[in-house]
Amino acid sequence: MPEADLRDCFHRSLSFGLYDRSSSEDTERPEANANVDELSRTPPGELVGVARCVTDHTTVAYLTDVYIWPTHQGRGLGKWLIACVQEVLVSMPYLRRSMLLTSDWERSVPFYQKMMGMELMGHKTRQAAEGGPAIMQWKGPMFPEGV
């Protein structure tokens, strides 16, 4: 995807960036709600991880593009990033559900069960899904009863 389109995807989403400040000058901290363009102009460090939720910011959120740079993987940063995402989602009082799709049944399914309290929707096993992705959801405070 061209960089401009990728930037637009993150700009239009509830996006999370993880920055390594250890190798950068201690520059002025951007606003906590700085957007993608502002962060690109004055990054608070080297970008080493991202995640984003496609969301209306009220009732539903779809988590995608969870990625930690290979140089920074395996140090607990992915867990911390997802804990931050969940902290924000939990703060949405009218959220019905957050969702995600993953084809990594072995690692990602237990990871999101543990980190976000997600549960499988539809097919419960890879075999039942016949090679398709795992569809997962977390029921928010406004999840409709009886669904």
Ligand X SMILES: CC(C)(COP(=O)(O)OP(=O)(O)OC[C@H]1O[C@@H](n2cnc3c(N)ncnc32)[C@H](O)[C@@H]1OP(=O)(O)O)[C@@H](O)C(=O)NCCC(=O)NCCS
Interface residues with ligand X (CB under 6 A) are 66-68, 73-79, 102, 104, 107-108, 111
Q: Which is nearer to ligand X, 18 or 92 (CB)?
A: 18
Tell me if residue 38 falls in helix, strand or coil: helix
Element spanning 101, H or E: strand 97-102
The nearest distance, CB 105 to ligand X, in angstroms, is 10
The nearest distance, CB 134 to ligand X, in angstroms, is 10
The nearest distance, CB 5 to ligand X, in angstroms, is 20
Closest CA to 61 of 147, 119, 140: 140
Q: Identify the sign of the CA torsion 23, 14, 2, 42.
A: negative
Q: Which is nearer to ligand X, 110 or 141 (CB)?
A: 110
Q: Which residue is nearest to ligand X (CB)?
A: 78
Q: Which is nearer to ligand X, 34 or 77 (CB)?
A: 77
In whole angstroms, what is the distance from residue 83 CA to residue 87 CA?
6
